[in-house]
Amino acid sequence: MKKIIYIISLFLITNLFAQENDSTKSVISVSARALTPIGIFAENWNTGSAFYLGYGWIYSKEWGVQFQIGYNKYRLKTGSQYSESPKLSMLAFQIGGRHYFLDGIFKPYVIVLSGVNYIRLFYKSGDALIDERETHMNFQIGTGFDFYIINNFQLEISALYNSHLINPSIPYNLTGFEYGMGINWMF
């Protein structure tokens, strides 16, 4: 619960800062991404998909803050240790920042996000149904670019490294790459 309070507090602080800055632009974003697991996580799980809804602010030509909520879902590899078609899904709550390198129609950037994931693993073991639910910290780091389609709409293409930090003592236990595209509406 402390993690969620920290994230909400950080979101409120950045919101207050954004309201004081006259040059701030608000951004609503919607994106779809493909997921590719790596490390230990890739032993049982195959590619997946993610969908994000975000809200943020661009403070200057170089800096922005983003808050996003997402849903990730992974598919099982054939021949894995789980039986009876398990389901692995995550609700992601993240906040982070962007640094833009250019100002114009084409805007490359780097992004860093951190937050909390609510993870659900549902599978059958023998005759019992197992429903595991956990909350863990996560972080993402990546790059991408925004491309203006028309005045206030941008096409976004991104690639990110994602780590869900389920057990920090096991390296790469639930990590992967996210890559995809989205639409941003600026106002």
pLDDT tens for each residue of the chain, 187 residues long? 565 566 556 655 655 555 555 567 889 999 999 988 887 777 777 888 999 999 998 887 888 999 999 999 888 776 666 666 678 888 999 999 999 998 888 999 999 999 988 888 777 777 777 788 888 888 889 999 999 888 889 999 999 998 866 665 554 456 788 999 999 998 8
> Distance between CA 175 and CA 120 in Å, rounded?
16
- Tell me, what's the pLDDT at 132? 80
Q: Torsion-angle region of residue 104: left (phi > 0), alpha (psi -120 to 50) or beta?
A: left
* Domains in the chain, CATH or no CATH each: 2-186 (2.40.160.20)
- Tell me, what's the pLDDT at 135? 83
Cα dihedral sign for 121, 124, 127, 129?
positive
Task: Measure the N-to-C terminal CA separation of the chain; round to a whole number of Å.
Answer: 33
Secondary structure of residue 23 in the 3-state scheme = coil
DSSP structure string for 105-129: SEEEEEEEEEEEEEEEEEEEETTEE
Beta strands in the chain (DSSP E): 25-38, 45-58, 63-76, 83-100, 106-125, 128-150, 153-163, 175-186
φ/ψ of residue 79, rounded to 5 = 75, 20
